Amino acid sequence: MGHPTSTMKVISKISEMQEISKEIHKKNISIGFVPTMGALHKGHISLIDIAKKHSRFVVVSIFVNPTQFGPKEDFNKYPRTLTKDLELLSEKKIDILFAPTDKEMYPKGYGTYIDVPDFSNKLCGKSRPTHFKGVCTIVAKLFNIVSPDIAVFGEKDAQQVVILKKMIKDLNFPTKIITGQIIREPNGLAMSSRNKYLTDKQKQNASIIYKTLRETANKINKGERNIPKLKKFIKDGILTKMTHSSPSENSLKIDYIEIINKNNLQQPKTLKGECLIAVAVWYGKTRLIDNITVNC
């Protein structure tokens, strides 16, 4: 348990995971939890490091959750690299990998879903209308299975963090959410399991997204407060530079560009406090999201 020589246990049964969590809690040991969909990268690893700092017993889950994918989305082709993930996780010396099957999580007749409509119909929710319902449902189920004291989520999915915090508050989950900053490739591209869909050239070009976000943050820091002007700067920056440097590399389409209050995702009249600049871009068939926080 959190000991250098301990070995990781892989569990696929809900009842077994619940039993272990109960035993750990009986010993007054805190449980830290990192839910993932696998195809692990340094972003996931950074969350595991945070969990280890906060708790003696660390559980990671890998489950490609079908209910958070829309009917035309990439559920079937989502990268599944369990052997490599297992290697990475045993190097990290976590205590448990919980990796259930679809049937274990959603048996025949499953019928309960959790919705946080206030925050789920904007940003990513506009083009993925059922996504956050799936996310909330699986996270609530995982919390009931793992009983974590803390759970770590990435700022990369900033809207997800806001929605899950609301769900936890509204449904009185005893779990505290801790967030980890976005881990990036050396060129600035936010790490993502979906980056596996990109060619090397596309990965290089996609770094323009973060460059543009940084330039926009600089403009705000220098006093620019005109939201439509800032949004136009982002749109032009991404479209012009990414298309220019790769006219042959598939189509580029902006899904959304938002500059909003980070805590309630509302569009403010004037920028103040913690502001989130968030974008989603379709690069060929790959949807990329990124964001940056600016203190206004």
The nearer residue to ligand AMP, 192 or 207, going by C-beta atoms, is 192
User: Least Å distance between CB 4 and ligand AMP?
Assistant: 25
| Choice from 44, 52, 262, 287 touching ligand AMP (CB under 6 A) | 44
Residues present in the chain in total: 296
44 is an active site residue = yes
User: Least Å distance between CB 47 and ligand AMP?
Assistant: 6
- Helical ranges in 93-199 per DSSP H: 102-105, 117-120, 124-127, 131-146, 158-170
The nearer residue to ligand AMP, 188 or 268, going by C-beta atoms, is 188
Say which of 3, 41, 44, 54 is annotated catalytic: 44
131 touches ligand AMP by CB under 6 A? no
Euclidean distance between CA atoms 164 and 115, whole angstroms: 10
The nearer residue to ligand AMP, 17 or 151, going by C-beta atoms, is 151
The nearer residue to ligand AMP, 243 or 293, going by C-beta atoms, is 293
CB distance 156 to 37 below 8 Å: no
The nearer residue to ligand AMP, 40 or 271, going by C-beta atoms, is 40
Euclidean distance between CA atoms 127 and 282, whole angstroms: 11
180 touches ligand AMP by CB under 6 A? yes
Euclidean distance between CA atoms 30 and 47, whole angstroms: 16
Euclidean distance between CA atoms 149 and 172, whole angstroms: 13
Euclidean distance between CA atoms 115 and 279, whole angstroms: 23
The stretch among 18-26, 43-51, 93-101, 164-172 that binds ligand AMP (CB under 6 A) is 43-51
Task: Pick the closest to residue 100 from 14, 208, 218 (CA basis).
Answer: 14
137 touches ligand AMP by CB under 6 A? no
Pairing of strands 96-98, 286-295: unpaired
Residues 182-211 that bind ligand AMP (CB under 6 A): 182-183, 190-193
CB distance 9 to 97 below 8 Å: yes
Place of tokens 């958070």: 68
| Choice from 85, 95, 157, 249 touching ligand AMP (CB under 6 A) | 157
Active site residue ranges: 44
Which stretches of the chain bind ligand AMP, using CB under 6 A? 36-37, 43-44, 46-47, 153-154, 156-157, 180, 182-183, 190-193
